[in-house]
Structure formats: C-alpha cells, structure tokens
C-alpha cells in the first residue's frame, strides 16, 4: 500500500521556505531570492520515494499587506493550509523569533488538526549554544508536535524533517505521476526563472514591481524559442531594468538562458521585452491577467 499527502510550508517573508522546499524535493521547483514576497503563488514540489509521495506546497510569505496583490497572496496561504496532512512553519533562526512568526503561528498553524512542525532554519549561521534558546522560543509559538533545527542551504536536518512528514502521510494512491517534481506549467516555470534573475539584478522598490509573463514558447529541432515580457509599474523602473545600453536586460537574459537550457535540455533563444503596466499590484484586472 502506498502513502501520499500534502504538507503546506508557511512562514513570514524571507525565512527560507522556497529553499527548504527545494532541499526536500531534491531539485529546484521554487525560485529563490533575498527579496521579500519572491513566492507569489502556491508552488507544489512533489517527492516520490519508496512507497510514499509527499506533495510540498510552497506558499507566499504571510504578512500585513499594503496592496491588493499582498492581500491575494495572504489568501493563497490560507487556501494552501486547508485540508492538508501537515503544516511546516519555517522560522529564520539567524534573524530570531519575532512577532511576525507569532502572527503566522496563530493564523495558519494553530487551527490545523494534523501534524504541526516548526523548522528553525539557517542554523548554519548560528553557534551551537545559540540553537537551543531558539528552539525553545519556537516551541512557545504554538503547540507544535515537533520543533526541528534545519539548514535548507546545507541540508542539515532536512532528512529528519522529511522522515516526520512521511510518517504523517495517510495511506492512499499517489496524487501525481511518479516522474513529476512540480505541478507548475512549463510557461510558468520559465517566467519565474526570468523573474528570479531580474530580482537578483535589481534593488530597492524595483523587485516588488516586477512581474514576468511568457508570450510565446515554441520548440524547433534542437532549439526552444521563448518570448517573455518583463512588466514594471513605472517608466523609471523600465529604464532601470533595461539598463544603460540594454546592459541590465542582457545580463538578466544571459543568466536566465543558462538555467533554462539546463531545465529544458535544449538550446534556448530567449527574447525579453520590458513593458509598463501601471500600478499592476493594485489593479484587479491586471492581477487577473497575470494569474494572481
């Protein structure tokens, strides 16, 4: 008999949720950056092992929203934690346990009836003597079944966390084909890889204003042609993303193409265009068009 179930991974922004999901799945399914609100959708990573399948739902950082996009991201988190078999709250051990973590625990973890685990992440940045007080502070957030120290970056504690999740899986058929590692459509994965590179290249308010959308993806023999638009909210941001003489956009495209070729196993021709969609984070029609 096989076992299968869903574990939602929640936490405030920038605790390392996406990095941890990637570490658990064993390959990259979620983009990663040091910018808050990098994850804007429910991303499922699928790990199929010997007789089990864990579906890990990476969620946006739960926060006090300032825009319509922020409110919708919080709604995604709420939807992602209903009817799951386990919830993993990720806290940033290097930053310490704070009010934001308590907010997430009260809203998203406490009401859950199934397995509740707190993963105290980034322990690779801490001295040994600092870990125990953090575990105690995390345990005080809510009635967790387990509090476990991990480093998503180095892999410390990840097998132990996975073992806890597998143990909580109910008996039943697999939810996804065994060969699948994510439920994201290819166009979405491509757009997200481009956005990840744009986030890494830009600073201040610009990353929050960037969205990406694949307009065309065509496969030819030995080549994949991709046309992708990078959306920003203001003309000034457009100039920043393009850069002097197009240098910034070229760098984003070059870095994205390297990763896309590894993902697709073929040569990639990537064309990027930058367009202004004014105040799209606050515009219901724009959010609908972008799939948020």
pLDDT tens track for 11-42:
998 899 999 999 999 999 998 888 776 776 77
- Both 118 and 195 in one domain: the answer is no
Output the domain CATH number for residue 99. 3.40.50.300
Q: How many domains, the chain?
A: 2
Last residue of a domain, one of 167, 202, 221: 167
- Both 34 and 141 in one domain: the answer is yes
Q: Name 56's bridge partners.
A: 7, 45
Segment 275-279 mean pLDDT: 94
Q: pTM for this one?
A: 0.88
Secondary structure letter of residue 129 according to DSSP:
H
Q: Give 206-262 pLDDT, tens digit per residue.
A: 888 999 999 999 999 889 999 999 999 999 999 999 999 999 999 999 999 999 999
- Both 80 and 212 in one domain: the answer is no
Largest pairwise CA distance in the chain: 60
- Both 33 and 160 in one domain: the answer is yes
Last residue of a domain, one of 167, 197, 219: 167
Distance CA 247, CA 242 (A): 7
- Both 7 and 45 in one domain: the answer is yes
Determine the pLDDT at residue 78: 65
- Both 103 and 24 in one domain: the answer is yes
Structural domain contains residue 177:
no
Determine the pLDDT at residue 60: 72
- Both 270 and 156 in one domain: the answer is no
Say yes or no to pLDDT of 94 above 70.
yes
Quickly tell me which residue has 């070059």 as its tokens: 254
Query: What SS3 state is found at 36?
Result: coil
> In whole numbers, what is the pLDDT of the chain averaged over residues?
92
Structural domain contains residue 119:
yes
- Both 17 and 162 in one domain: the answer is yes
What is the residue range of 7's domain?
Answer: 3-167
Quickly tell me which residue has 């040091």 as its tokens: 34
Distances (CA, A) of 37 to 33, 54, 65, 138: 9, 24, 11, 22
Q: Which tokens hold the place of 7?
A: 């574990």
């Amino acid at each position: 008999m096989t076992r299968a179930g869903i574990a939602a991974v929640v936490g405030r922004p920038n605790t390392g949720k996406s990095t941890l999901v990637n570490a658990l799945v064993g390959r990259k399914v979620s983009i990663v950056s040091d910018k808050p609100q990098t994850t804007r959708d429910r991303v499922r990573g699928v790990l199929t092992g010997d007789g089990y399948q864990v579906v890990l739902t990476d969620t946006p950082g739960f926060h006090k929203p300032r825009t319509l996009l922020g409110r919708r991201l919080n709604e995604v988190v709420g939807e992602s934690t209903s009817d799951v078999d386990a919830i993993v709250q990720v806290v940033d051990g290097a930053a310490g346990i704070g009010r934001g973590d308590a907010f997430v625990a009260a809203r998203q973890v406490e009401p859950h009836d199934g397995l509740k685990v707190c993963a105290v992440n980034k322990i690779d940045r801490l001295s040994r003597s600092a870990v125990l007080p953090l575990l105690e502070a995390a345990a005080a957030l809510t009635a967790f079944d387990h509090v476990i120290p991990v480093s998503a970056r180095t892999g410390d504690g990840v097998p132990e966390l996975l073992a806890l999740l597998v143990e909580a899986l109910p008996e039943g058929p697999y939810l996804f084909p065994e060969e699948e590692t994510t439920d994201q459509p290819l166009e979405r994965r491509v757009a997200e890889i481009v956005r990840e590179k744009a986030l890494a290249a830009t600073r201040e308010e610009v990353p929050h204003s960037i969205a990406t959308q694949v307009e065309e993806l065509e496969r030819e023999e030995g080549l994949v042609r991709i046309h992708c638009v990078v959306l920003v909210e203001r003309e000034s941001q457009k100039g920043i993303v393009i850069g002097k003489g197009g240098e910034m956009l070229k760098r984003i495209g070059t870095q994205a193409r390297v990763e896309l070729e590894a993902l697709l196993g073929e040569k990639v021709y990537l064309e990027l265009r930058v367009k202004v969609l004014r105040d799209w984070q606050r515009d219901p029609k724009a959010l609908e068009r972008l799939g948020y």
